[in-house]
Structure formats: structure tokens, C-alpha cells
Structure 1
Amino acid sequence: MTPAFPFSAIVGQEEMKRAMILTAIDPRLGGVLVFGDRGTGKSTAVRALAALLPPITAVRGCPVNAASVEECPDWAGLTEFETEERPTPVIDLPLGVTEDRVTGALDIERALTQGEKAFQPGLLAQANRGYLYIDEVNLLEDHIVDLLLDVAQSGENVVEREGLSIRHPARFVLVGSGNPEEGELRPQLLDRFGLSVEVRSPDDIEERVAVIERRDAFETDPDRFLKKWGREDRSIRDRIGQARATLGAIKRPKSVLRDCARLCVALGADGLRGELTLLRAGRALAAYEGDTTLSRDHLRSVAAMALSHRLRRDPLDEAGSQARVARVVEDVLT
């Protein structure tokens, strides 16, 4: 199996890497949506981050990566319950995928003739406690989008056929990528992503040369390349682990909560999900940077990724949503 490219060796794309780190610290953020050109390292970054994270402890043989006996569903048919370490799952959701492949399939004939709940787990079961990656998410079929919205909201996958019902946990970090020029994303799914970033092919010649050099070195001698970048990856892993441990202790002054609300009102963001995401992203960043109190500086750093995809369209403003957020942040957080 080909090892993942080291996360710390990815050239540039700092905003995308920061967003993915924040979702690793606090999965409640709701995932990351990455807009941009093809070949800019989106899928590489997802797999690199998952490989960098500590392995998960799961019940051996459990198809939903359950952490304990109680969480492993009875339809799995396990008679012995031992735990093992597994890499953090990263599951691809391909375009054109069928609903049964996503949710899993019930064997109705076996259920009727033998009285057994025979269930073939789908991609949602495999992604539990990991990452679900959707390339070209804006081209995903509507009924699959609706299904993902329901599961992302509840954290549980429910399959019902002919009066039979199967349930299992399905909690994952949703990462989607797409090119806005190839189709728009439904507002319901757009709002479900906690963070969004835009990536572009680098214009700087030296940066492009660095990308080529590192990729070529990785493909030529992956063991040597992984050893070279291993220390920096371990440093990021340790910082993520420490941030997870201290996240709940980060103080959030009332003034900062008021800043969150003022930003969202000034931007005209619908609902309250923007404030909650801004708060969670800022707190995750504070924990990652080793701070004990959430501040305006943290909000400034995450405002664009937390709010830019929640804005109503302004046909008279050609600057783009990230520029609009930057202007309002400058006006409000002075």
C-alpha cells in the first residue's frame, strides 16, 4: 500500500491545511469545503492529515469502527470482542454512487426466508469515526445530497426496507471539493459544511518548483522522504492531541461572543450556525496555538473560512465573498 504524502510537506495552501487541522481538533465543526482548481492538493491533504492523526481503537471485525462493544451493532454478528488499532478511515464517495452503496443494503430474501437481518454495510459505515471525502461535490445527485444531510444531522445511518430497520452510528468529518465553474452547490449542503476555503494553483515559480521537487522526491524514495518529514508531522500530531485535550478549557469572554454575533449580523448571514461555527473554529485555533482564552485575533484568523460560504449573493459585488468578510471584519473588529 502506497503511504500518504506527509502533511507538513505540502507546499503552500496554508488556509486549507489550517481548516483541516481545526476539524481534526473539533469534529463538531462540520467538515471542510474546498473550492478550487484541479491538481491543487485537495485529496492529498485529506489523506495526509488522516495518516498523521493517531490511530483509532476499534472492536476487531466491527464494520462501523465501533470504539466499544456497546457501539458495535448486533447485526455485525460478532461473538468475540477484542479491540485493535486502525488507521483513521478516509472513504471516497464517488460520483454516480448508488444509495445502497452509500447506506448499505438489506438482504430481504434472507430476512424473509431465514428470519435474519442480513446487512451489507455501505460507505457510511466505513467512514464512521473518520473522514468522508467527496470530490466534485457540486455534481453529486440530489437524492444522495439529501441522504448525507440527514445522516450528518443525526450522526446515525438508518436503512429501512420492507418493514425491516437497521441502524448504526455514522459520525464523520465531511470534506468536499469542487470547481464552482462546473456547477453550483445546493444551499442546504453548502450550509452544512462548517468551513470553506478557496485554493488556487500557485503563480510563484519557486513555489511551483518546490511542489515538483517534493513530489518527485516522494515518488523516487518514499521511505527517505517520509523519514525527512516525519519530525514535522509528529509535531503537528502532538499539537493536535494537546489541542483536543485542552479544547474544553478554553475561556470564551462574553465580549467575544458579542463579536461573533456582530460579524454575522453585519454580513447578513442566515440563521445562527455562522456564530456557532465561528466560535468553535476560533476556540479550536486558540487550543492549537496553546492559548487559554479565545480572542478577537482568533476570530479574525478563522472568519473567512467560517462565514464566506454563508453569505447571500450580491450581484453588485464582484470582489468575492472572502473579500466581503475581510472588509466587515476590518470594520467590526477594530
Structure 2
Amino acid sequence: MSEGNDGASHGGPVAALRRIAFLLERSRADTYKVKAFRNAAAAILPLPAEQVAAAVEDGTLTDLPGVGASTAKVIAAAVRGEVPERLADLEREHGGPLTPGGAELRAALRGDLHSHSDWSDGGSPIEEMAFTAIELGHDYLVLTDHSPRLTVAHGLSPERLTKQLGVIDAVNDHLSGTGFTLLKGIEVDILDDGRLDQTEEMLRRLDVRVASVHSKLKMEAAQMTRRMVAAVHNPLTNVLGHCTGRLITGNRGTRPGSQFDARAVFEACAETGTAVEINSRPERRDPPTKLLELARDIGCLFSIDSDAHAPGQLDFQVYGCERAEDAGIEADRIVNTWPQERLLTWANG
């Protein structure tokens, strides 16, 4: 899936820098390795093409704030009409399909209901997440930064969330006419007693709400079951996020999934019309296959989400699509295959 969007008269270097960042994120590179390329793209984007070309000619690119030696090489090659060496290497290593399967279902997806920006623990601005979602062919993206209790992830207080909603309105004004909408959402913590970690007033202002457990993952099974069932029965909960909380690989280490009565939780999801998230992050693969098949058999709806914390990670959805195809889950049971109007009616009906 290509991310190249020239978007400016000297779009070659901007597109090359953004594509490098995208491919690094897609490969799950550390955020600090990516920021140099996104910062350089932002630095040269507002400059006239002639000024950038002159800086290449004079060898003064690194005098521009935000441009370092490695990004200057990329810019210079792109200005000369060449494919930068760093980009060519990354395309070979990480530019191909992420999975052997899942392409058909991925093509049916209209959007993504779980994504993070630098307002909480994501690595990029809101608008960059939106631009990349457009380039990946989405009709909508739900921005779901964390709720207040998750302080380690800079969760949003009601005041900060209110400000974010204004930013989303401004982004949508800027993108009007593109056919794309950035939807207002939250990944809201499920508190110990099953309540949601945000005021009801704020939750009602949102388009979509993903509810997830992030704390006390080793809670005793019966208590965890009551906690999750209570959250699912809250009429403001739309999606049950990464239900077990497990980690199976990655730089955060591994941890086992929480213990709970999955049948009881999924029956509550089926009864209330709450979607079970198929979390597409490679380190999560949540729910595990047996639980995914149980939710399928009980009759649950699903949402295949990237849980992206960087623009390139929006491409992770195909991992979840491959798992859903393997499980024989038909597209119409996956809420983010639905057009936006149907999605919002379901989420707020």
C-alpha cells in the first residue's frame, strides 16, 4: 500500500521522507528513529521548491532546522529525481505485503476504530494520522487516545479531550471534500468495578468508544468477568478492546492474558451488540484463536483495528484481517466494513 502523496510543488523529497518514516513504523522501528524523517518532511514542506533545490546545490540543507545529515541525503537524491538509497533499502525489506492472506477482507474495510496520536502515547500529530489513513484508502479513522487514569500514556482529562475535539473539527474542515472523516473517539479504561474512566457527558460527545482493561490484569477470574461484563453492558461501550491484554512478542516483553469467563463476556457482547476487537498489533494477536472462534460461534460482531501508535502502524490491520479470514468470519459482521452512516447509527443508536 503506497503512502506517497506529493502534496507540494517539491513533493518528491517530502513524499520520500514520509514514505521512509511510514516503512520504519510498519517494521515497528523505535519512534526516535522515525522522528528525524517526519521532522525533516515538516521542515521542508512549507519551503518553496526553489529554496530546497538551492540548498541542495549549495550543500546547505543541514543548515535548515530539522534537517540532519541522513535526511539531507534523502532530500538531495529526491530533488535530483533519484530514489534515495535509504528508501530503496526499506522498500526491499518492508515494502511488500505483511501477510500472505487477509487482502480480500482488508479491501472491504472502510476504516479503523482504534488509533492513537501524540496527544496520548502515539508518536505523531493527529493530522499525520489522518493523512496516512486517507492514503491507505480509509473513509474514516476513529481517534481513540487514552482516558485519564492511564497516566503512563498521558491519558486525556475531560478538559484535554474537549480541546482535542476542537482540533478534530479543524482537521475535518481542512479535509472537507476528500470523502474522509476523522471520527471522535476514546480508548476508555475499564475501571476495577466495570465503570468507564471518563464522564458520561464526554463519552456522549464522541462517535465511537473502545473500552479496554489496562490495569490489574491478574485480577481473579470471577471478578475480572464481572468487571468486563459490566463495561460491555454500559450502553456507551461500542467495542471491547484487546480483551485478554496479552503480549506474545515485542520490546515490551511478554505477558499472559487475563483470566475470565470468555463465554459470559462474549454472550454479553452478543446481547448488547458490542463488537469484540480483533486487535491487529503483532505483539497482541488478541483475542487468541480459541477465543476468537468462541466469539464467532456465539454470534458477536467484530472490529478489526490497528491500535496504531504511529502512521505506519495503520497498515497492521491486514494481520487482523488474515486472522478473521482464517476463522471464517464474514465481512458484514465486522463493523468497520460498514459505511460511516451505518457505523454511527450502530454506535449511537
* TM-score between the two structures when normalised by the length of structure 2: 0.27
Highest relative contact order (Cα 8 Å, sep 6+), 1 or 2?
A: 1
Higher strand share: 1
